[in-house]
Chains A and B, each alone.
Chain A
Amino acid sequence: MQLLKNNVLVTDNWLNAGSEGELPSADDVIVPFARLLKEWGELSTRAGKLGLRLSNTDRPEALGTFLPRLSVIVLPFPAFNDGRAYSIARSLRDMGYRGEIRATGNVLPDQLQFMLQVGFDAFEIGERFPLETWQKASRQMSLAYQRGLFRQASVAEIWTERHTDAEPWLEQPHAG
């Protein structure tokens, strides 16, 4: 499967593991949450990198202790209009997670920008739309009102921009 990352296609080298079965010793693997909980001892000491596949009903705040060891978190869109993963992604970023957050499932170009803004940075995009459509999709809006988004360099936060320059009288250094 090819992944869209930073607006280009890259090859996905991760192994998607099921809920049980032998794991190859050195490969980078993605496991479901139940397996992470069950086999944390072994998984945390493996040589390869570790990824996690969350479901929409797993609570992001339960991941705290695992986050530093994770390099990828895969969040599902069972339907384009099931928006839970947007909140999960943003929670993970709020918690300080800096690894990859990957969108899988019914991922569409016209939602790409929202996904980028809440912290997704990798997308399983399938074959339906040409790459060009995807590349354009990430540049549709150059402004957002909300603060604290996971910002692309090309998107400005309006409220922050408006109030960047503090009133000059507030900025005066204290005399003496």
Chain B
Amino acid sequence: MYRYDEFDHQFVRERTNQFRNQTERRLSGALTEDEFRPLRLMNGLYLQLHAYMLRVAIPYGTLSGRQMRQLALIADKWDKGYGHFTTRQNIQYNWVKLEDAPDILDCLAEVEMHAIQTSGNCIRNVTTDHWAGAAADEIADPRPVGELLRQWSSLHPEFSFLPRKFKIAVTGAPHDRAAVKVHDIGLRLHKNEAGAIGWEVIVGGGLGRTPMVGVTVRDFLPQHELVGYLEAIMRVYNLYGRRDNKYKARIKILVHEIGADTFKSEVEAEYARRPHPTTEVEERELARIAAYFAPPAFDKLPRWSASFEEAKLANPGFARWAKNNLGPHRVDGYSIVNISLKPEGGIPGDATAEQMRVMADLAERYGNDELRVSHAQNIVLPHVRKDDLLAVYQALENTNLAAANYGLAGDIIACPGLDYCALATARSIPVAQSISRKFADSKRQDEIGKLKINISGCINACGHHHVGHIGILGLDKKGEEFYQITLGGSSAENASIGTILGPGFAGHEVADAIETILDTYLKHREAGEEFLATYRRLGPKPFKEALYATA
């Protein structure tokens, strides 16, 4: 894992002091709320429906046990004993007091964390594959580039007042778990025929009001050119992105309005115009960072673990959890453990301080002291020996963290919605809870198989409903919440935007509607066919008929 050196420490400390000073000026009245607002947003502090919310950056979703424990401490000391892991691999605290915010930032700085640029019209926290460094299909760990971009984008003086927020995602594996095609910039590592490594640069994807899949502006950018090239993209966006309408201000609209070819040539012209200093420093910096992400010293283990196989035979609950929640590790004898933060009837992404501490302990004891936050709002222990899986499972079971629904119907992604969020038009959490209860039966979930259900409480799409296999969007119709259902979205390498099925449903009808859709899928699917594949084969027609025939 990356460790701060004296420069990183000083940088975060100075930033925290600056914010403390700004907060004092606000509390004394020297700054008006209008003047203070952009300053607090740049430090992750939002004013929500009931209180301030602090969003803490978890760069590329990677945490150590010590950092997770500090997050638990913050939850206990300054919040109500829990935190909410978000779809951008961050954590949010929902009940923060303004005067406490600088102390919380100090507390984060102690463990090499911050809340810089988790809001505002700037480059947000860089996200990546939550299985990075562990996945069996990975070409290279994308996190060194994630860290390089974290540093480069931190308080970037030219790009801190962009037309709109800006999100970058990075993946180093052919199977895209980072949704790079629906980000402002997506970077995909791949090898050319000569075996060299380069980056596909995808620009202009996004969700929100106008969901779009990004376009490729460079097929194979050499790694040392990344920073310079991204600066060229950012400058074109900063100068020519729309600022007259915030709903048309994301880079996807610029790319769409001027056309991908014109956009590309603007970027190339800007890149050619830049005074090209040597990229030697960037190369050395990347090498320095990469050393921190060297793979841990894995034990040489057989692929097959007798104790693991025996434990599965003896314990059906463990066997089911192992079948659903483990990912294939690149090293024999190891597994990736996906801890579901989606217990039956729970709030997706929420974890109590106690649960955080248990996960921190497990990471330290069994997981090489590493944790990841996934964009599906789960926690990952990336490197666990198969021999230790039973012990990990038992510890999780004792803290209500052993839901065996990873990637299934119960593994619902949902934004905080109208229960917390000032932008929301409808609640997300109760809908997630009702669906979770509807499909609580584990046999049923296993029968349905791989499924992504995503819920957003407004058009801004923080729950990524456009790319859910089943997407649910909460809207407000004359003071009543109602929910639109889309089918066929995907954020993977074959990304697609879901199609709206028909008229919306009241909140209490949604779970039944999902059940009808899934019954239809089960009726029509071919052997071994996942929901998305069936939908793509049949289109919306049978689902529409089933849903609206009785209406």
Residues on A facing B (Cβ under 8 Å):
59, 61, 80-84, 86-88, 90-91, 94, 108, 110-111, 113-115, 117-118, 140-149, 158-163
Contacts and interface: CB of A to CB of B under 8 A. Distances in A.
B524 interface: no
B288 A118 contact: no
B239 A88 contact: yes
A87 B7 contact: no
A112 B160 CA distance: 12
Contacts of B151: 145, 158-159
Nearest to A86: B158
Cβ-closest 4 pairs across A and B: A83-B161, A117-B157, A114-B157, A145-B151
A86 B38 contact: no
A94 to B, nearest CB: 5
A61 B273 contact: yes
Contact of B11 (A80, A117, A145): A145
A147 B14 contact: no
Interface residues of B, number: 39
A162 B7 contact: yes
B284 A82 contact: no
A147 B125 CA distance: 20
B277 A90 contact: no
A56 to B, nearest CB: 8
A22 B280 CA distance: 53
A108 B274 contact: no
A160 B285 CA distance: 9
B243 interface: yes
Given A83-B159, A86-B160, A114-B157, 9 more contacts: A80-B38, A84-B243, A86-B238, A88-B239, A111-B161, A142-B14, A143-B10, A145-B151, A159-B281
Contacts, number: 101
B261 interface: no
Contact of A158 (B11, B161, B280): B11
Interface of B: 5, 7-8, 10-11, 14-15, 18, 21-22, 35, 38-39, 121, 151-152, 154-162, 235, 238-239, 243, 273-275, 277, 280-282, 284-285, 288
Contact of A144 (B157, B161, B274, B284): B157
Contacts of B162: 83
B157 A86 contact: yes
Contacts of B285: 159, 162-163
Given A81-B161, A94-B275, A163-B284, A143 B235 contact: no
A143 B280 CA distance: 20
B159 A108 contact: no
Nearest to A60: B239
Contacts of B15: 141
A146 B152 CA distance: 6
Contacts of A84: 238-239, 243
A67 B156 CA distance: 26
A117 B274 CA distance: 17
Contact of A142 (B10, B35, B38, B277): B10
B35 A108 contact: yes
Given A141-B18, A143-B14, A147-B281, A162 B273 contact: no
A126 B280 CA distance: 43
B120 to A, nearest CB: 9
Contacts of B157: 86, 113-115, 117-118, 144, 146, 149
Nearest to B153: A145
Contacts of B38: 80-81
Contacts of A91: 235
A141 B281 contact: no
A125 to B, nearest CB: 14
14 contacts: A80-B38, A84-B238, A86-B158, A86-B160, A86-B238, A114-B157, A117-B157, A140-B18, A141-B14, A146-B152, A148-B275, A159-B285, A160-B281, A162-B285
A56 B21 CA distance: 32
B35 A141 contact: no
Of B7, B275, B277, B280, most A-chain CB atoms within 10 Å = B7
Contacts of A80: 38, 161
A159 B273 contact: no
B227 to A, nearest CB: 8
B156 to A, nearest CB: 6
A141 B238 contact: no
A91 to B, nearest CB: 7
A149 B157 CA distance: 9
Contacts of A113: 157
Contacts of A61: 273
Contacts of A81: 38, 121, 161
Nearest to A81: B161
A83 B154 contact: no
A9 B431 CA distance: 59
A59 B240 CA distance: 10
Contacts of A115: 157
